[in-house]
């Protein structure tokens, strides 16, 4: 069975608007992304899909860190294929980011190219 984050970490990620992340092992700054928690599991999606994005780095080197409550936690990505989970992640983004300014990004996350980047982060 896949490792999961302790409930306290998952709750902190659920409650925070931004999650700090660094993909890969090369020195790089930690960036902020939107994350959601579904069924106690942490999910992220890439919005920009740029060549040098965290998502593409994870495809090449599947390890990194997240920063939660000032602590760095080692993570690895699990790329999600489940349509059921993708729908739950769609809903979780809409519920977590309901403001008019967030709406364009929440809708953008539903586009196929971005939905296909749905990634679960798990500790290692």
Per-residue pLDDT of the chain (124 residues), as tens digits, is 568 999 999 999 999 999 999 999 988 899 999 999 999 999 999 998 888 899 999 999 999 999 999 999 999 999 999 999 999 999 999 999 999 999 999 999 999 999 999 999 999 9
Domain encompassing residue 15? 7-80
Q: Where are the beta strands (DSSP E) in the chain?
A: 19-23, 31-33, 35-38, 41-44, 64-68, 71-79, 119-123
In a domain, 35, yes or no: yes
- Does any domain span residue 15? yes
**Whole-number pLDDT of residue 56:** 95
Q: CB of 25 within 8 A of CB of 63?
A: yes
Query: What pTM was computed for the model?
Result: 0.95
How many domains does one find in the chain? 1
- Report pLDDT for 49: 85
The answer to whether residue 59 is domain-embedded is: yes
Is 24 a member of any domain? yes
């Amino acid at each position: 069975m896949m490792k999961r984050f302790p409930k306290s970490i998952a709750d902190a990620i659920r409650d925070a608007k931004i999650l700090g992340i660094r993909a890969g092992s090369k020195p790089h700054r930690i960036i902020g992304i939107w994350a959601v928690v579904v069924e106690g599991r942490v999910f992220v999606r890439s919005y920009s899909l740029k060549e040098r994005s965290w998502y593409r780095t994870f495809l090449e080197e599947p390890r990194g860190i997240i920063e939660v409550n000032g602590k760095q936690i080692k993570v690895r990505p699990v790329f999600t294929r489940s349509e059921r989970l993708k729908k739950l992640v769609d809903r979780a983004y809409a519920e977590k980011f309901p403001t008019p300014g967030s709406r364009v990004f929440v809708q953008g996350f539903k586009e196929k190219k971005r939905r296909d980047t749905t990634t679960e982060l798990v500790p290692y």
